[in-house]
Amino acid sequence: MTVKLIAVDMDGTFLRDDKTYHRERFLKQYAALKARGIRFVVASGNQYYQLTSFFPEIADEIAFVAENGAWVVCEGEDVFNGELSDEEYRHVIDHLMTLDDLEIIACGKNSGYTLNRYDERFKEMASRYYHRLAFVDDLHGINDIFFKFALNLPDIQLLKRMEELTEAFEGIVVPVSSGHGSIDLIIPGLHKANGIQMLQQRWGVADNEVVAFGDGGNDVEMLRHAGFGFAMDNASEAIHKVAPYRAPANNQDGVLEVIDKVLNGDAPFA
Residues 225-262 have pLDDT tens digits of: 999 999 999 999 999 999 999 999 999 999 999 999 99
By residue count, the chain amounts to 270
Residue 180, pLDDT above cutoff 80: no
Rounded mean pLDDT, 186-205: 97
Q: Tell me, what's the pLDDT at 195?
A: 98
As a whole-number percent, the residues of the chain with pLDDT over 70 amount to 99
Q: Tell me, what's the pLDDT at 160?
A: 87
Instruction: Indicate yes or no: pTM above 0.85.
Output: yes
Q: Tell me, what's the pLDDT at 178?
A: 74
Q: What is the DSSP letter of 16?
A: -
Residue 223, pLDDT above cutoff 90: yes
Average per-residue pLDDT for the chain: 96
Kindly state the helix (H) or strand (E) to which residue 256 belongs, with its residue range. helix 254-264
Q: Tell me, what's the pLDDT at 38?
A: 99
| Catalytic residue check, 9 | yes
Residue 66, pLDDT above cutoff 70: yes
Domains of the chain: 5-81+190-264 (3.40.50.1000), 86-186 (3.30.1240.10)
Rounded mean pLDDT, 128-150: 97
Residue pair 263/256 in contact (Cβ under 8 Å)? The answer is no
Say how far apart CA 42 and CA 53 lie, in whole Å. 12
Residue 179, pLDDT above cutoff 70: no
Q: Tell me, what's the pLDDT at 159?
A: 82
Q: Helices (H), strands (E): how many in the chain?
A: 9, 14
Pick from 17, 46, 43, 16: nearest CA to 211: 43
Rounded mean pLDDT, 44-73: 97
Q: Among 9, 11, 219, 253, which one carries the catalytic annotation?
A: 9
For the residues of 138-186, what is the DSSP string, one character each? -SSS--S-EEEEEEE--GGGHHHHHHHHHHHHTTSSEEEEEETTEEEEE
Count of other CB atoms within 10 angstroms of residue 37: 8
Q: How confident is the model at residue 157 (pLDDT cuts 50, 70, 90)?
A: confident
Least confident window among 1-15, 51-65, 157-171, 225-239? 157-171
